[in-house]
Structures are given as C-alpha cells and as structure tokens.
Amino acid sequence: MSVCCMSCYCTTIGTQLAYYLPTHISCFVPGPLTFLGGNRHTPAEDCCPVKGLLMRIGCFGACAVAFVFGCLTTRLAAQPPQPKLIVQITMDQLRGDLLRDYVPALSQGFRRLESGGFWIKHGDLNYAVTVSFPGHATLATGMYPYHHGLVANEFWTQRDGKWVSVDFSDDANFHILGDPAATGESPKFLLCQTLGEWVKQADPRAKAISLGSDENIPVAYAGHKSDGVYVFDPAANSFTTSTFYAARVADWVNTFNQTELPRYQQRSWNLVVAKQFVSLASSQRTSLRGKPNPQFPHVYENEKAGQPDHPQPYSAWFSSTPLKDEALFALAARAVDAERLGQRGAVDYLAIDVDSTDQVGHKFGPRSLEQLDTLVRLDHALARFLDHLDKVVGKNSYVVALSADHGAADPPELRPGGRRITTPEIEAVLDKIEAIAKANKGTPAELADRIAAELKQVDFIADAYTPARLSEQSDDPFVRLYQRSFRPSFTTDFPLWTTKPREYHPARYGVVVRFKEGMIFDWAVSVHGSPYEYDRDVPIIFYGANIRHGSQPDGVMTVDVAPTLGAAAGVRPPAGLDGHPLSFVFSTGVDGSQSTGK
Ligand SMILES: [Zn+2]
Ligand SMILES: [Zn+2]
C-alpha cells in the first residue's frame, strides 16, 4: 500500500470540499422514496457531472420541503415484514460467466441463493475504471464513482514537491493494530454514506459490521461510522482493524484469531472440485512472462520460494488462497453470535468482502481450475454461513445480496486479438509524454490536448480523455462511462502503471487512457480495470426475506444494490442516489401488492 499524509490531503482538500458539500448534503438529507420497476439511468442525468450536481441541488430543495412537513421519518410508512439483518456479500473479481457456467458444480450456498432468490445474470458496473475501490464503494453507497469519490484505487497528486500516486484509503493519522509497519486506513476520501451508515442512522440501536479478507476494502462498506471493521492483515497474521475505527480489537475477534483461525491455516491447498466438473474450467496452464504457474496440489513449502533469502511468509501464501475466505465466513458467523446481529429488535448490517477470488483470478486467470476450486470452497462456506443464519437469526428473517466489484479479462494467450503490454512499452510512452510536457509553453488545457493527441498515436491505446472532454455532453458511450469515473484532480495513473518516479505522468494533467480491447498490462496473468464487458459483467443476486424467486438476463447496475437492500429492510436511502430500489425483486411491494416481475 502506498503511504499517504496530511500534506497530500491538504493539497486536494479544496477540490474535495467543492464536491463534498452538495453530494454530501444529498446523501444526508432523507427524501421521498420512489420504487421504480427497473433501472432508470437516463443518459442525460448520468453523463454530465455538472448536471448531476444541479440535479442534486434541486433534490436538496425538494427534500428541504419534505423536512418542513415532517417527513424525517427513517422508516417507510407501509411495509411488508422486514428482515432483521442485511447481509451484503461481495466476491472480488467474480465475473458474471463464472456463476452462469459453473451452476452444476456449485450445489450448496450458491444453489440456495439461485434457487430461492432473484438472480440478475449480467449485472453491469456502468462506469469505466473497473478497479476494486470504485466497485465496492458503488455497491456500498448506491452512487457512481464520480459522486461517491473513490474513482480509482489511487490518484495522482503532489506531495513534498513531487508528483506521486496516493492510495484512496491509506491514512497516516491511524495505524493497523498488530502491524506497526502498516499505514492505517480510513474513509477520508469517501464522500457519501454507506448502506451500513443508513442502517445506523435509521435506528440508533442498529449495528453495522464490515469484515473482509482484503487489507483495506472493508472500509468502503463501513464508511465513516461502524461498530466493527475487521480485515485480514498478513503481517499480523490475524483479523485486525485500523485505529480509525477502534482502539482495540474486539474480544470475539481475538478469540477467533487464537482458536479458530489456525484450523483454516493448512499448509496445502488441495483440489476439492468433483472429477465430473473439472472440465468446466480451462485446461490450459497459465503463465506470466514465461514462468508457468504451479498446479494442484498447492503446497506452501513448495511455493514459498521468492528471493533466496526472503521466502514468502506462510501468512502471505495463505492470503493468496481461498483458505482465508473459508475462515472469513466462519468469522462472519462469530460476528452474528457475538454482536447478536439480527437478534436485538433492530435491523443490523453485515458486510462480507471475499478477496481470494481476486487473488486467484489475477494469478491463475478467471477460468482456471484454481478459480473453480475457490468457488466450490466458497459455495460450501456460504452454505454453512446461511445455515447458521437460519438457526440464529431465523429463516426468512434476513436478506442477502451477493455481487462483485468487477470482472476480469481472460489472459491474452486464451483470447484472440489481445496481447500483454509490457513495462518497457509503457515507459517508452511516458518518456514521450515527459518530453512534450517539459517543452510545453501553452495553457494546461492545451498541454492536456497535446498529451492526449500523442497517446492516441500509440498502437495499444484506443483513446485518451482530457478533463475538458469529460466535462462535456457526449454521445460516445465510452466517454459517458469515463465521466462516471471522473473527478478533477483525482486522476488515476491506471492503466499506464509505472514504478518509476514520473513527475510528468499524464495523470498529472488529468488525462486518462483507454487501452484497446483485450490489451492488458503485464502485471498479472489476468487483470481488470477497463470499460469492456469482461470487466463490467458481474452477477447480482438478492435472497431472503421478501425476495421472490426469479432471474433476468441484464438491465441492472451494481449501483442499484444498496438502495434495493435498504428498501428490502425498510431503511430509507438518502435522497439523490444514482441507484434505485428494484421493486421487481420483492415478493410484496410496500403497498402490499404482489410483484409480477419487471
Ligand atoms: Zn477488486
Ligand atoms: Zn484485482
């Protein structure tokens, strides 16, 4: 993780405040809840950040009227029986086709969700920069990245006189308990409340807990106020927290770390996929830069080799396997027990962020046998967790949403037309941009235009976008996707990644590029982050109290997940969200009507 500090925060805070105020107001002020029978993202509303802002101000006015007339209730007036617990499960890099094609092999937890819930088979992210933080924050807030603020995993800014890439969640004002070398995590750049915060605002008795096997993603679900945020930290080899959220690790987490976690920390990762389903995965062995990946069984002692004098610690190897997420679901069950979630007369919230799907997908590829095995293991762990909820919270007394923050590209070796873009190729492009920037005598806008024009000449780049272009109305579908990922002064260097100090990186001038389809940065076997379908295609499944059985092929965005979960539990979302509650997934509407589908 990159290191952040107050100085970099100060350099950007002016810009941040300009965005923060109106968006935050719209997030905090309750407004009339309209149930829509499907997604209603009109291009004119979505494509222009400025127009979005004006709409929000208008919405604020409407909400102020509602306030005067005493509409500050945080519960819906008429509602069906409500769940006592909202569970939001996100599997990082779970591309939509994996669930669609692996149905026969996933006969337990996923089967329960699919056979009893409502499955949108091709959910869509509907924005361009499909990396993790934007994906999770969109699922958590019901807002697109240009409104919730986390437009990428890091952004380009000036610190100590140098231009550097800064992580969106690292916060040097805090630290990670048990890992003194790590920088703390906080939601300081997140502009909106999360579903967990809506739940707490709706009822002071409600609890919101966010758990994850990644080191920082649970921050996106916890937001600014939470009753517990626990991540798996390999250096600490335990589930722990940032001091932004708590001064000490809760007793139930400490107990889990000491007594249960060791049971999941096996020295080998063996194949559990039944023989008849192995052929569902690709049989092609993947490799990176000529080095073939290891195959099953994966044994730590065989795979720990790194630098001869720096073998990979066991906890880091464990963190790259699905073993850690089998532990995560067990931890989630302990959270339900210890915090008595869904058992105290309030609607509680539990977020579960599964990370191994991303780790395994990057290393072995989305269609690898390793990813199939990961999903089978998660299938079993999910079933055990749902059984636990049935027993402790009660059948039909909780509601679940399962989705993903993004998909992934297949390795180019398996996909005709694609290829890997190497580090020397990227450095050569950045050298050219540096020469242009150093020689520039024009205005910042003219320089951005010159840089974009140069980038468009590169054979693997499809287009380059300047701040001016992303601020105008456009009929270009890619421009519209990038507009939802765009905030001035928060430009990511992705996918022109470099480890060199690059004072003149295009991101400094607000210029972002789109690689051609199938072109991936040579960082891993498989990567994500593009606006193409393979990166935007994710499953969305709702299950549980008042969710009807059904499915539909597409037409739903991940931005709709949080408002739908909130509506299912009778929790009023803030006004002015980009997403909408999907009334067609409910068995009974708020007016008592039976749902007849989309
Ligand atoms: Zn991710
Ligand atoms: Zn990833």
Ligand closest to CA 135: 1
Residue 281 domain-assigned (yes or no): no
Ligand closest to CA 409: 2
* Distance (Å) from CA 407 to ligand 2 centroid: 9
One domain for residues 174 and 319: yes
> Which residues have CB atoms below 5 A from the ion given as ligand 2?
358
Ligand closest to CA 360: 2
Query: CB–CB of 226/218 below 8 Å?
Result: no
Average of per-residue pLDDT values in the chain = 87
* Distance (Å) from CA 93 to ligand 2 centroid: 6
Provide the CB-side half-sphere exposure for 240 (13 A, CA): 19
Query: What's the pLDDT at 81?
Result: 67
Give me the number of domains the chain comprises.
2
* Distance (Å) from CA 44 to ligand 2 centroid: 31
Beta bridge partners of 420: 520
* Distance (Å) from CA 182 to ligand 1 centroid: 20
* Distance (Å) from CA 533 to ligand 1 centroid: 15
Query: CB–CB of 546/427 below 8 Å?
Result: no
* Distance (Å) from CA 196 to ligand 2 centroid: 24
Query: What's the pLDDT at 79?
Result: 55
* Distance (Å) from CA 139 to ligand 1 centroid: 12
Residue 182 domain-assigned (yes or no): yes
Ligand closest to CA 216: 1
Final residue belonging to a domain, choices 490, 516, 542: 516
One domain for residues 393 and 448: no
Residue 341 domain-assigned (yes or no): yes
* Distance (Å) from CA 216 to ligand 1 centroid: 11
Ligand closest to CA 538: 1
Query: What's the pLDDT at 441?
Result: 86
Tens-place pLDDT, residues 63-109 = 333 333 333 334 444 556 689 999 999 999 999 999 999 999 999 99
Rounded average pLDDT over 210-232 = 97
pLDDT category at 465 given cuts 50, 70, 90 is very high
* Distance (Å) from CA 379 to ligand 2 centroid: 21
* Distance (Å) from CA 102 to ligand 1 centroid: 20
Q: CA–CA separation, 260 vs 448, rounded Å?
A: 54
One domain for residues 143 and 234: yes
pLDDT category at 28 given cuts 50, 70, 90 is very low
One domain for residues 254 and 389: yes
One domain for residues 55 and 124: yes
What's the one-letter identity of residue 200? Answer: K
Query: What's the pLDDT at 305?
Result: 84
Tens-place pLDDT, residues 490-549 = 999 999 999 888 999 999 999 999 999 999 999 999 999 999 999 999 999 999 999 999
One domain for residues 460 and 363: no
Ligand closest to CA 405: 1
One domain for residues 503 and 396: no
Query: What's the pLDDT at 2?
Result: 35
Cα–Cα distances (Å) from 293 to 98, 364, 438, 486, 525, in that order, read 21, 7, 42, 36, 9
Provide the CB-side half-sphere exposure for 502 (13 A, CA): 25
One domain for residues 68 and 173: yes
Tens-place pLDDT, residues 230-281 = 999 999 999 999 999 999 999 999 999 999 999 999 999 999 999 999 999 9
Query: What's the pLDDT at 499?
Result: 87
* Distance (Å) from CA 362 to ligand 1 centroid: 10
Ligand closest to CA 362: 2
Lowest-confidence range among 78-92, 394-408, 544-558?
Answer: 78-92
* Distance (Å) from CA 585 to ligand 2 centroid: 29
* Distance (Å) from CA 352 to ligand 2 centroid: 17
Look-up of token digits 């739908």 = 564
Residue 127 domain-assigned (yes or no): yes
Ligand closest to CA 363: 2
Ligand closest to CA 358: 2
Residue 296 domain-assigned (yes or no): no
Rounded average pLDDT over 137-158 = 96
Residue 87 domain-assigned (yes or no): yes
Ligand closest to CA 214: 1
Ligand closest to CA 404: 1
What is the DSSP secondary structure assignment for residue 18, as one 8-state letter?
H
Report the phi/psi class of residue 220: left, alpha or beta, with left for phi > 0 and alpha for psi in -120 to 50: alpha
> Over 70: is that where the pLDDT of 367 sits?
yes
Nearest alpha-carbon partner for 547 in 99, 110, 80: 80
Q: CA–CA separation, 455 vs 449, rounded Å?
A: 10
Record the tokens describing residue 287, joined without a space: 């490799």
pLDDT above 70 covers a percentage of the chain that reads 85
* Distance (Å) from CA 544 to ligand 1 centroid: 25
One domain for residues 219 and 366: yes
Query: What's the pLDDT at 556?
Result: 96
One domain for residues 424 and 392: no
* Distance (Å) from CA 524 to ligand 2 centroid: 9
518: burial class by Cβ within 10 Å (0-12, 13-18, 19+)?
Answer: middle
One domain for residues 508 and 536: no
* Distance (Å) from CA 362 to ligand 2 centroid: 6
Nearest alpha-carbon partner for 541 in 112, 208, 137: 112
* Distance (Å) from CA 218 to ligand 1 centroid: 12
Query: CB–CB of 374/61 below 8 Å?
Result: no
Q: Are strands 519-521 and 419-421 parallel, antiparallel or unpaired?
A: parallel
Question: Is the CA virtual torsion 289, 518, 216, 403 positive or negative?
Answer: negative
Nearest alpha-carbon partner for 590 in 39, 142, 76: 76
Residue 592 domain-assigned (yes or no): no
Write the CATH number for 48. Answer: 3.40.720.10
pLDDT category at 158 given cuts 50, 70, 90 is confident
Ligand closest to CA 130: 1
Between 285 and 351, name the one with better pLDDT: 351
Provide DSSP, 119-169.
EEEEEE--SS---HHHHHHHHHHSS-HHHHS--SSEEEEEETTEEEEEESS
Query: What's the pLDDT at 256?
Result: 98
pLDDT category at 364 given cuts 50, 70, 90 is very high
Q: CA–CA separation, 433 vs 515, rounded Å?
A: 16
* Distance (Å) from CA 12 to ligand 1 centroid: 25
Between 396 and 74, name the one with better pLDDT: 396
What is the DSSP secondary structure assignment for residue 340, as one 8-state letter?
T
* Distance (Å) from CA 131 to ligand 1 centroid: 6
Nearest alpha-carbon partner for 493 in 468, 529, 469: 529
> Over 90: is that where the pLDDT of 1 sits?
no
One domain for residues 391 and 362: yes
Beta bridge partners of 574: 30
Structural domain harbouring 381:
6-150+163-267+312-412+531-550+560-585
Q: Report the chain's terminal Cα–Cα distance, integer Å.
A: 43
Residue 304 domain-assigned (yes or no): no
* Distance (Å) from CA 92 to ligand 1 centroid: 5
Phi/psi at 146 (5° precision):
-65, -15
Query: What's the pLDDT at 311?
Result: 85
